Amino acid sequence: MDCSQVLSNFNTWKASTSSAISVYQAKRTTTQTEDDEMLLKEKEMLDASLCISEAINKLTGTSSEIAALHEKILAKTAELHKGEADISIAKDRVAYIRNPERKTSNYESWFPIDRPLHPASIVILIALSIFLGVFYALSVLSAADIQLMFYIPATANRSSFMIWLQEQMTFSFWLVLIVLISVVIYFVKRN
């Protein structure tokens, strides 16, 4: 029996088989030829049942094929995301190799300065180095019991207010004022 023909014309085949069975059941007596025809119809029905079962199995297999394809799609998507992450890491490595001063990690340095160094950063670093150097030198001299004193002779024509004002504005005052102004200028220009 041709399964494709039965499946394509199933309603027609079903109607003709049902009518043949109804005619056979309506008869009170049957001949051997009619009995043989019914046995052939029974065999046709069994073949049709096998064809339908085979078609159902194919359709079920199709859904499992779809599920397998879906699993492959998920696996390929995961591979794609992993590849994109690898490409991103490779790009970062190439950028670091080409310009290592532009991208720094948290572990490269403990001193928070911008890279590449800006001229303002260099001036601040030099001023800080000079200040700390002078502070260290004066601390060493103080530990060695050497005291430095600056003596400015008073002139006779200055008023007592000007002398008092000059006494208030010592070298350390001017140094702190310069550092304070430099820090304010740095942060104003930075923003």
110 pLDDT band (50/70/90 cuts)? low
Q: Residue 114 — pLDDT band, cuts 50, 70, 90? A: low
Residues 183, 134 share a domain: yes
Instruction: Give a yes or no: residue 17 inside a domain.
Output: yes
Q: Residue 164 sits in which domain range? A: 119-190
Residue 105 counted as domain residue: no
| Residue-by-residue DSSP string for the chain | --HHHHHHTHHHHHHHHHHHHHHHHH-SS--HHHHHHHHHHHHHHHHHHHHHHHHHHHHHHHHHHHHHHHHHHHHHHHHHHHHHHHHHHHHHHHHHHH-TTT---TTT-SS---SSPPHHHHHHHHHHHHHHHHHHHHHHHHHTT-------PPPTTS-HHHHHHHHHS-HHHHHHHHHHHHHHHHHHHH-
Q: What per-residue confidence (pLDDT) applies to 133?
A: 94
Domain count, the chain: 2
Tell me: the pLDDT tens digits for 30-55?
788 888 888 888 888 888 888 888 87
